[in-house]
Copies of this chain bind each other. A is one copy, B any other.
Amino acid sequence: MSAHRVVFTPSGKRGEFPDGTSLLAAARTLGVDLDSVCGGRGICGRCQVDVAEGAFAKHAIRSGPDHLTPWGEVEQRYADKRGPFAAKRRLGCQARICGDLVIDVPPESQVHRQVVRKRAETRAIEIDPVVRLHYVEVAEPDMHDPSSDFRRLQQALSQQWGLAETNADLVTLAGLQKTLRAGGWKVTAALRKDRDIVAVTPGFTERAYGVAIDVGSTTIAAHLCDLVSGEVVASCGAMNPQIRFGEDLMSRVSYVMMNPGGDKELTRTVREAMDNLIGEAAREAGVARSEILEVTLVGNPIMHHLVLGLDPTELGGAPFALTIDGAYEARARELGLDVAPGAFAYALPCIAGHVGADTAGVVLSEGPHLKDELTLLVDVGTNAEIVFGARERLLACSSPTGPAFEGAQVSCGQRAAPGAIERVRIDRLNLEPRFKVIGCDHWSDEPGFAEATANLGVTGVCGSGIIEAIAEMFLSGIVSEDGVIDGELAERTKRVEQVGRTFAYVLSEGAPRLLIYQMDVRAIQLAKAALYAGAKLLIGRAGAAPERITLAGAFGSHIDPLYAMTLGLIPDCDLAKVASAGNAAGTGARIALLNLAARTEIEGVARRIEKIETAIEPAFQRHFVAAMAFPNKEDAFPNLAKRIDLPARKEPASERGRRRRRAASADTG
Interface residues of A (CB under 8 A from B): 141-151, 169-171, 173-174, 176-178, 308-311, 313-314, 318-326, 328, 330, 334, 350, 352-353, 611, 613, 615-616
Contact = CB atoms under 8 A, between A and B. Distances in A.
A321 to B, nearest CB: 4
B323 A148 contact: yes
A324 B177 contact: no
Contacts of A611: 145-146
A301 to B, nearest CB: 10
Contacts of A310: 170, 173-174, 177
Given A170-B330, A309-B170, A176 B323 contact: yes
Contacts of A177: 310-311, 313-314, 321, 323
Nearest to A150: B324
Q: Which of A148, A150, A320 has the most CB of B within 10 A?
A: A148
B174 A321 contact: no
A313 B180 CA distance: 14
Given A173-B310, A309-B170, A146 B324 contact: no
Q: How many chain copies does the complex carry?
A: 2
Contact of A143 (B141, B142, B169, B615): B615
A115 B214 CA distance: 54
A116 B177 CA distance: 43
B319 A141 contact: yes
A576 to B, nearest CB: 35
A465 B611 CA distance: 78
Minimum-distance CB pairs A-B, first 9: A141-B321, A146-B352, A148-B325, A148-B322, A141-B319, A150-B324, A143-B613, A143-B319, A148-B324
Contact of A322 (B149, B314, B325, B616): B149
Contacts of A320: 141, 143, 146
Contacts of A322: 146, 148-149
Nearest to A616: B143
Nearest to A141: B321
B616 A144 contact: yes
Contacts of A616: 143-144
A151 B325 contact: yes
Nearest to A353: B146
A458 to B, nearest CB: 44
A311 B174 CA distance: 7
A270 B320 CA distance: 44
Given A144-B613, A148-B325, A324-B151, A174 B319 contact: no
Given A144-B616, A150-B326, A177-B313, 11 more contacts: A141-B320, A144-B613, A146-B611, A148-B323, A148-B324, A149-B322, A170-B310, A173-B308, A173-B310, A174-B309, A177-B310
7 contacts: A143-B320, A149-B321, A149-B322, A151-B326, A170-B334, A171-B309, A178-B311
A47 B427 CA distance: 85
A309 B175 CA distance: 10
A386 to B, nearest CB: 15
Q: Which of A145, A149, A321 has the most CB of B within 10 A?
A: A321
Contacts of A326: 148, 150-151
B613 A146 contact: yes
A143 B173 CA distance: 45
A616 B146 CA distance: 12
Contacts of A149: 314, 321-324
A149 B142 CA distance: 52
Contacts of A323: 148-150, 173-174, 176-177
Q: Which of A150, A320, A350 has the most CB of B within 10 A?
A: A150
